[in-house]
Amino acid sequence: MSINHNEIGSEFWSVPTAADKNKLFGDGTSWFLSGRAALNAIIRDIKKIKTVKTAALPSYCCDSMIMPFISNGIEVSFYAVCLENGALVQKVDEEKEADVILIMDYFGYVGDYKAPENAIIIRDLTHSVLCDFKKDADYYFGSLRKWAGFLTGGFAYKKDGSAIETAENEKESEYIALRRAAMEEKAEYISGKSESKSYLERFNEAEELLDCVFEGRGDSDDINSALYLDAQLIKEKRRENAKELLKELSDYAIFKEVKNTDCPLFVPLYIENGKRNSLKKHLIEKSIYCPVHWPVSNYHKLNNDTAGLYENEISIICDQRYNAYDMQRIIKEIKEFLD
């Protein structure tokens, strides 16, 4: 599909698939409406076999990772994730007390840390499912929606290969229908067949609905697309695009290089002195849509060290929809704004 409208970023509208199955998912993988629904199912599975009172999460996370623990009556604490001497540091090794510890890699770059051995470990693969991540957890889960045009995309599996129970939700059909309609409308817009941006309203309706849903099963078409996702194509394109961005933006980048173990989800930049929000607005005016991670909620507990990522990070688009020309367009706008 040729792209006629000149926007970069925002929601996907398709999933690249290959002729052969990939090997991205573990034995006994269960499929869910969302990553949050997958995490909720994992917590329920753990509680069947063990009393769980406390959980430790990274300080840098989305509230959708915090809420399932709280809704299951589990007390949440946070270990520090912050920048030190220009490098992202995950101080999970300092966590000694929690019954469950959630760990993750960020933005498709494999981190240098070791999971504690004194707790049940849950690894969030949302940012790292296409990376050579460490196989050090009791449970794995994530969402594919940040990687390609999945309607649902939640998945979970456990170390022993046994299935994790899924639960139907009365809203799942409505949500899937909204997402499908939104993607079809966006495909029409991107191809130049339509001038309407009605898909924005559809996507917003779907997200508002999802905010109220903690359970739900994955869509059958999504499951098949996930199993045949063209991981090689996605890795190659994202790595190429990220390297193109880093040629000229590495001074601002949280991760200065793309290692062999990595598959960039974004190229996250650290923009200080209160300029991040203004840069995001400037890029939007140029039809370049780069998210920030994450909004701070009432569930977060931050200090001077851990708040910096929330205040200064912006995620630069590098996905498989785009090429070196698009990356140069992004670079031009960022450098003109910052210089």
The answer to which of 40-44, 114-118, 134-138 has the lowest mean pLDDT is 114-118
pLDDT value at residue 2: 42
Who contacts 198 (Cβ-Cβ below 8 Å, separation ≥6)? Answer: 185
Mean pLDDT of 128-157: 97
24, containing H or E segment = none
Whether the predicted pLDDT of 240 surpasses 90: yes
Q: How many CB atoms lie within 10 A of CB 310?
A: 17
94: DSSP letter: G
Distance (Å, whole) CA 12 – CA 186: 8
In terms of DSSP bridges, do strands 154-158 and 30-32 run parallel, antiparallel, or are they unpaired? antiparallel
Whether the predicted pLDDT of 319 surpasses 70: yes
Distance (Å, whole) CA 316 – CA 327: 9
pLDDT value at residue 5: 65
pLDDT value at residue 4: 52
Q: How far is CA 233 from CA 89, 129, 221, 319, 330, in A?
A: 30, 14, 20, 10, 22
315, containing H or E segment = strand 313-316
Whether the predicted pLDDT of 236 surpasses 60: yes
Q: How far is CA 36 from CA 64, 183, 201, 312, in A?
A: 6, 21, 22, 25
Give the type of residue at 180. R
State both tokens at 73. 């009556």
End-to-end CA distance of the chain: 36
Whether the predicted pLDDT of 3 surpasses 60: no
Q: How many CB atoms lie within 10 A of CB 8?
A: 21
Mean pLDDT of the chain: 95
Whose CA is closest to 204, among 50, 14, 21, 11?
A: 11
Mean pLDDT of 246-272: 98
- Residue matched to tokens 């045009």: 149
- Residue matched to tokens 């999460």: 57
Distance (Å, whole) CA 333 – CA 339: 10
Distance (Å, whole) CA 323 – CA 238: 9
Whether the predicted pLDDT of 43 surpasses 70: yes
Peptide bond into 13 cis (omega under 30): no
Mean pLDDT of 30-52: 97
